[in-house]
Amino acid sequence: MLQGMAASGAAISSPILASDATQLGTQPTEPRRVIFFLQNQGFDPATCVPKGLKTSESLSGVKLPDPISPLEAYKDKINIITGLHGRHTSPSHSAYFGALGGYRGGIGVPPGGATIDHVISGLLPETILPHLRIGMDALENMISRPTLATLSASGAGKPLFMHSNPQDLYQLLFGGIATGEVKKKYEARSKVFNRIEQLAAQHGEKLPTGDRERYGGYVDGFKDINGLRERLADVSDHLKQFAPDYNDKFLKPKFDTDWHDALLDLGIAALKAGLTNVLTIGSGRGEIFGAWKGLGITEAGHNLGHMKQPNNPIWIKIRKYNCQMLVKLMQALESMPEGNGTMMDNTLIVYTSNNADKQHTNGADWPFVLLGNCGGRIKTGQYTKLDGRRPINALYTTILRAIGNPNDRFNMDKGIANVHDTKVGPIEELMA
């Protein structure tokens, strides 16, 4: 029980950084947030490259392919990228932590280092909850496994859990301002967490050395989650204006997509409230599973990966659903003034897959779509075709440069880079 509850805490609060509530509403001078959205089972380039485009060029005057057509009105704000590779991540069914880590992944392979989303969360302006992770799956999976760690990590051997039960996540983020049954559950769980933290801290020293270290991680999880609750209580009046409606979508989901939508609403609320600066969304939770019955799709899980994506009505529905979520994210951030513009002006959204171009891939072509210019630092309104010789790590290096961190490489030592990369530094074609 202790392990499960501590994992639930770690899904939100690893790490919790000190934050002054007065930070909410400060004026931005640099990019302030990055969002990662990963759809499982691969991202076939044919589903995102406009017809007839063979080289890098402007998207002006061309029509986006049907699977990403919801982004048509935002062509001037996107950059479609093909020709990056992730051969060194050994993706196959999924690269798991390697997708955002840029290192060898695979089922059962622990993270080899911190992933780009977590690294960025420590570099952007500090918030109460630096890194929020949500995972969308089949409804029965989200109920039976409300937390799962497959995509993000804070370091080597340190996976970070994502939240998949929107009822639990709502209670954690907004339980302190809720009423009725949600408030009662929030207060009861708070008492349990506080008491277990006290008991765990008292008795952990009696364990053998190896168990004591692991046990200490659980104790820290309770400290973090209790600290988060206190910080959220300090800004309770501020949170009231951003809490989503706790309706049947949360309480009585008919389809898995009801909970997908609820999780997205919570992610948007956390961004708009200024609680987090990095949001990671895993559709399929970084594995080969997932279901979209609310879209009228009866096929699910592993079988979807064995279907070709181009001109496939099933995959067109899934991809359009993703893009509608991306549009909802952009519109929500555009509605929020920030500095001399909006929150979207200071945001970058990274859309890709945890599995390059398809299931059972060698990772030779790993498409990305960037949305937003990250405070004017990333080129938009174009298709960028690379030559297949630069790794996904180079894109992550580019994003680090865009947020003001001058690294030349991300998670790639010189020896590996000599084999898998042809240059040092960011991808110049993407920098504004």
Q: What mean pLDDT comes out for the span 297-312? A: 93
| pLDDT tens-digit map of 148-194 | 999 999 999 999 999 999 999 998 888 876 556 655 665 556 555 55
357 with 388: CB under 8 angstroms?
A: no
Q: Where are the domains of the chain?
A: 31-171+247-418
Which residues, in sequence order, are CB contacts of 199 under 8 Å at separation 6+? none
Q: Where does 31-171+247-418 sit in CATH, by number?
A: 3.40.720
Residue 421, pLDDT > 80, answer: yes
Which among 294, 372, 287 is positioned nearest to 326, based on CA atoms? 372
Which among 176, 197, 173 is positioned nearest to 186, based on CA atoms? 176
Q: What mean pLDDT comes out for the span 34-43? A: 97
Instruction: Name residue 20's amino acid.
Output: D
Mean pLDDT of the chain: 87
Q: What is the pLDDT of residue 179?
A: 56
Which among 353, 363, 373, 426 is positioned nearest to 396, based on CA atoms? 426
Q: What is the pLDDT of residue 3?
A: 45
Q: What is the pLDDT of residue 236?
A: 80
Q: What is the pLDDT of residue 31?
A: 78
- Between the CA of residue 422 and those of 190, 388, 417, what are the distances in Å? 52, 10, 8
- Cα 388 to its chain centre, rounded Å, is 25
